[in-house]
Amino acid sequence: MSIDETSAGMSRSCERDAAPELAGMTIAQIRAQVAEWESGDPGWALLEKDRRVGVRRLVVERRRRDAREQAESQRRERLLHFERHLWAQGVSRVAGVDEAGRGCLAGPVVAAAVVLAPDCAIAKIDDSKKLSRTQREVLYEEIVAKALAVGIGQVEAEEIDRLNILQASLKAMRLALEKLSTPPDRVLIDGHLPARSPYPEQAIIDGDARSLSIAAASIVAKVHRDRLMCECDVHYPEYGFAAHKGYGSAAHLAALDAHGPCPLHRRSFGPVAACVAEPRSELFLSFEEGIYDCANLAELARLGQLVKEAATELAADELTALRGAYREQRNRLGDIGRQGEAAAATYLEERGYRIQERRYRAVGGEIDLVAEEQGELVFVEVKTSQRASRPEQRVDRAKRQRLTRAARHYIQYCTTDPVCRFDVIAVWLRATGAEIEHWPDAFKPLD
């Protein structure tokens, strides 16, 4: 008799021996006993043949649990791709870095750096955006307790206005790395730009979904910043920071309109800047609307000449704003705008979006891209620039109103009542190619 045949015979013998014992047990007693069984225990096969539905359900539950554990193990292995590659080279201290609060209207931008040990066993770490608040809170405590090192850096609103949000985010990352108890050997950063720290760096696009260390940093940064904004809510309760954490929700925008900005607000960001700006003249508003309504470069050139002729009737800041709007519309109507929109469309399609419309014009507004993602309708405003500016900050209140009108016009022809949102994509056209930043759900529709 072969070894396999002997083993099979022993297994059948074990089942026969266990059958009377299990048959005399209640389902609760069996549940308590199988809690200690391994997945390959021969008793599972016996339970599967039991006449009681409740007993057979125990087998189904165990198989589902095993499948979840296997899927989690495989997911964790995928997230450790970058770390394992470095650990195999002898790089022991790998720091993952991510930030939170970049798209907020108020509060600091916070970055975290996390160094995990190769044998660190923390289950269910994922991109913080995919986790519930409770899950993030639990994982935060476990990460802080089990990580080799954790560092947190933050840059306040006043400095964000002075540096711009990109440079402020990179500075927060450098500060977080400085706060680590021991310098890292290698740094993995979420995004397409390095932080320019003193350590060897690797920027990873969508890093919080591709690296366990970066995902852990995203959780730490998010939870730390959320807690800060809840503390700010005590000092400025009229803004509701505990609920929206400084993001541009409808409630936040309404509070901003009612009370104006507080010291936590970023005055260089469009909705806040609109609150502190002097009221615009009727002549300015007429010219601005006319610029954005131009359908071709010839129309735009004629309107530009009219603006020049009326320059003495406009305030200096109004003239500067119109020049910016003119350049933006010229880029949009020319090759630069089309290149940016094409790059944005490619970026979205690579991430599973389906482009439905390009340059949808209606009721005095134009939507650069209308896309669909997992049943959600996404209206995308694309801002393109060749300079080191922050093009996404040009989506001011007037622009949001025009986009809202055009979106409502589009929705009325939909066969269903879709869930929708407004995204902003900033595109920088470089000699080496397009650099893209994406802000999902960047603002809420306006009345």
Q: What is the pLDDT of residues 155-184, one digit of tens each?
A: 999 999 998 888 999 999 999 999 999 999
On the CB side of 383, CA atoms within 13 Å amount to: 21
Could you report the per-residue pLDDT of 206-242, keeping only the tens digit for each?
888 899 999 999 999 999 999 999 999 999 999 999 9
Q: Fold match between 81-231 and 343-443? A: no
Q: Taking residues 291-296, what's their average pLDDT?
A: 80
User: Is a pLDDT exceeding 50 seen at residue 57?
Assistant: yes
Check residue 8 and give its pLDDT: 43
Q: Measured between alpha carbons, how far is 271 from 73 in angstroms, rounded to an integer?
A: 44
Angle between helix 212-235 and 133-146 (nearest 10): 110
**DSSP code of residue 281:** P
Query: Is the whole-model pTM more than 0.95?
Result: no
16, pLDDT greater than 60: no
| Cβ–Cβ < 8 Å for 105, 223 | no
Q: What span, in angstroms and rounded, lies between the C-alpha atoms of 332 and 443?
A: 21
343-443 placed in CATH 3.40.1350.10: yes
Is the CATH code 3.90.1150.10 the one for domain 81-231?
no
> 13 pLDDT band (50/70/90 cuts)?
very low
- State phi, psi for 205 to the nearest 5 degrees: -65, 135
Q: Where are the domains of the chain?
A: 3-79, 81-231, 282-332, 343-443
Long-range CB pairs of 231-239, under 8 A, 24+ apart, other chains included: 232/106, 232/107, 232/264, 236/262, 236/264, 239/106
> Taking a C-beta distance cutoff of 8 angstroms, is the pair 221, 172 a contact?
no
pLDDT digits (tens, 9 = 90+) for 126-147: 888 888 999 999 999 999 999 9
SS3 102: coil
In this prediction, residues 398-403 reach a mean pLDDT of 84
Q: How far apart are CA 29 and CA 54, in angstroms?
A: 12
User: For residue 245, what pLDDT band results from cuts at 50, 70 and 90?
Assistant: very high
The encoded tokens of residue 416 equal 């269903």
